[in-house]
């Protein structure tokens, strides 16, 4: 049974940047949850957080030494030190039992609260112990300036000042800040639940022995690993045969348990490319509904005229694009199905990998609250270490390895770069982005690269 008709050859290719924009618009920030502070590292903040107090909350010493009145040390020198009586000790976490008055000092530890009356701390190495009338004293050998070695109250933060904004990826430093201000429970965006479906009757489970004409489903595990790396939670939902009704049922089931669906395979122009057939029907449904909403004619197309496979999808579904102007992976497609984003990636491993980096990774970042501009591809420039001769009428994305030489960043195209090849995927740490044209690029050319995580 053929699943596609002549429409398979009339898809309109959307430029990659436009396709990414459409995907990011569809990937609105999702669910939120509260996690313990110690689990917040690497998560994306869901609500603004502010300082609950001045920090430091009191003037504190930056080192071990003596809290003094700077005026008392004005004439101090190594040859003629100033002698001050020691009236108390200020340990970290405790307050001194006495204030600093003229002619006195308080022994103070790093982090200790500076006692009233003191306006400077003299480091221990610039002093010497002494006795005055049998009582503890200190000889100060250097002049102290007002404010010396003291962190004033509120030096770093004032009460109510911003600590982090929504969409911030919480690093260990953020965790330290939040702990400092008593934030034991942190509001973050939930990790997106990503349904992973592989299509193709030819696919075997990874653990199955090979049989003639069939291959193992390696894409599902690769996509799952990429999802985890992107902060998502992969839900491996198995393999779907080349039957539109089966694919529609699998997608409907995936919608019940996921925030986004990623499929691999079945997007090209073959007779049995099931996702292309299903999304082609969705395209027809979208066109029919659009026509029905813009005409009052009783003969206008209706939802009832939609092909059977598309009718099995939820009514609040629409196609975003079913072809991207790129190599590899031009049949990559995207749709809103049941109000959730569906990305249909190529079944060829190389094209699947590229498609994930271009579309799925930005979408997952956006779902976690990252601003659209920040969720975009991470771009840089590099010098081409070796020529890439093959041109393309569409943008080409070439897997490459980065290295530096003489302070210059080089991108070295990897072998086995065809869409169906996977040998170069493990070594790729960037994608060279080549403009459309009849020729590729020569060695030494400055090229744009997409940095991979």
All domains in the chain, ordered by first residue? 6-31+190-375 (3.40.980.10), 37-53+157-189 (3.90.105.10), 60-151 (2.170.190.11), 379-451 (2.40.340.10)
Q: What's the whole-number mean pLDDT along residues 71-82? A: 95
Give the model's pLDDT for residue 280. 76
pLDDT (tens digit per residue) in 145-164: 999 999 999 999 999 999 99
Beta bridge partners of 102: none
Q: Please report the pLDDT score of residue 326 as a whole number.
A: 94
Taking the alpha carbons at both ends of the chain, their separation in whole angstroms is 42
Average confidence score pLDDT of the chain: 88
Going from the C-alpha of 158 to that of each of 35, 114, 186, the distances in angstroms are 26, 19, 20
Of the two residues 133 and 72, the one the predictor is more confident about is 72
Which range among 132-136, 283-287, 362-366 has the greatest average pLDDT? 362-366
Q: Is the peptide bond before 56 cis (omega within 30 degrees of 0)?
A: yes
Top-confidence residue, 416 or 8: 416
Hey, what are 19's tokens? 């396709």
pTM over 0.85: no
Average pLDDT over residues 288-312: 43
Pairing of β 326-327 and β 340-345: unpaired
Please report the pLDDT score of residue 245 as a whole number: 86
Q: What pLDDT does residue 269 have?
A: 55
Instruction: Provide the phi-psi class of 189: left if phi over 0, else alpha when psi is between -120 and 50, else beta.
Output: beta
Least confident interval from 94-98, 265-269, 369-373: 265-269
Q: Which pLDDT does position 312 carry in this prediction?
A: 62
Of 437, 440, 329, the residue nearest 393 (C-alpha): 437
Residue 144 pLDDT class (50, 70, 90 cuts): very high
Q: What's the CA gap between 358 and 313, in Å, rounded?
A: 26
Residue 17: pLDDT over 90 = yes
| Distance, CA of 72 to CA of 149 (rounded, Å) | 16
The token pair that represents 174 in the structure block: 């953020």
Q: What is the average pLDDT across 423-429?
A: 91
Instruction: At 176, list the tokens.
Output: 């330290």
Which tens digits make up the pLDDT trace of 176-202?
999 999 999 999 999 999 999 999 888
Residue 58 pLDDT > 90, yes or no? yes
The phi, psi pair for 288, rounded to 5°, reads -65, -45
pLDDT band for position 5 (cuts 50, 70, 90): low
């Amino acid at each position: 049974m053929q699943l596609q008709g002549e429409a398979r050859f009339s898809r309109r290719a959307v430029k990659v940047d436009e396709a990414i924009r459409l995907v990011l618009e569809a990937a609105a920030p999702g669910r939120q949850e509260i996690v313990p502070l110690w689990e917040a590292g690497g998560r994306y903040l869901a609500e603004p957080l502010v300082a609950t107090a001045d920090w430091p909350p009191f003037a504190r010493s930056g080192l071990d030494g003596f809290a003094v009145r700077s005026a008392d040390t004005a004439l101090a020198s190594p040859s003629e030190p100033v002698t001050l009586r020691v009236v108390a000790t200020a340990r970290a976490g405790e307050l001194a039992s006495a204030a600093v008055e003229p002619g006195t000092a308080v022994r103070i530890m790093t982090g200790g609260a500076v006692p009233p009356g003191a306006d400077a701390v003299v480091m221990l190495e610039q002093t010497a112990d002494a006795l005055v009338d049998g009582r503890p004293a200190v000889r100060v050998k250097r002049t102290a300036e007002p404010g010396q070695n003291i962190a004033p109250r509120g030096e770093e933060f004032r009460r109510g000042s911003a600590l982090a904004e929504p969409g911030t990826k919480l690093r260990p430093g953020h965790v330290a800040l939040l702990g400092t201000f008593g934030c034991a429970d942190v509001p973050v965006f939930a990790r997106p639940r990503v349904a992973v479906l592989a299509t193709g009757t030819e696919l075997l489970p990874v653990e199955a022995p090979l049989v003639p004409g069939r291959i193992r489903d390696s894409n599902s595990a690769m996509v799952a690993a990429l999802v985890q790396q992107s902060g998502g939670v992969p839900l491996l939902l198995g393999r779907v045969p080349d039957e539109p009704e089966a694919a529609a049922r699998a997608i409907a089931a995936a919608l019940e348990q996921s925030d986004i669906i990623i499929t691999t395979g079945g997007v090209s122009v073959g007779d049995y490319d099931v996702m292309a057939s299903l999304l082609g029907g969705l395209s027809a449904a979208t066109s029919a509904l659009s026509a029905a909403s813009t005409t009052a004619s009783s003969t206008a197309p209706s939802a009832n005229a939609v092909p059977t496979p598309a009718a099995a999808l939820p009514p609040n579904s629409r196609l975003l694009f079913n072809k991207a102007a790129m190599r590899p992976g031009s049949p990559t497609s995207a749709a809103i199905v049941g109000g959730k984003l569906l990305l249909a990636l190529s079944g060829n491993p190389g094209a699947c990998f590229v498609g994930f980096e271009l579309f799925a990774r930005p979408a997952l970042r956006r779902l976690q609250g990252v601003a659209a501009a920040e969720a975009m591809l991470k771009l840089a420039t590099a010098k081409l270490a070796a020529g890439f001769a093959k041109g393309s009428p569409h943008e080409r994305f070439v897997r490459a390895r980065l290295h530096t030489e003489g302070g210059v960043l080089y991108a070295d195209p990897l072998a086995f770069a065809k869409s169906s090849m996977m040998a170069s995927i493990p070594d790729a740490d960037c994608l060279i982005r080549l403009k459309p044209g009849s020729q590729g690029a020569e060695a030494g050319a400055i090229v744009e690269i997409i940095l991979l995580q």
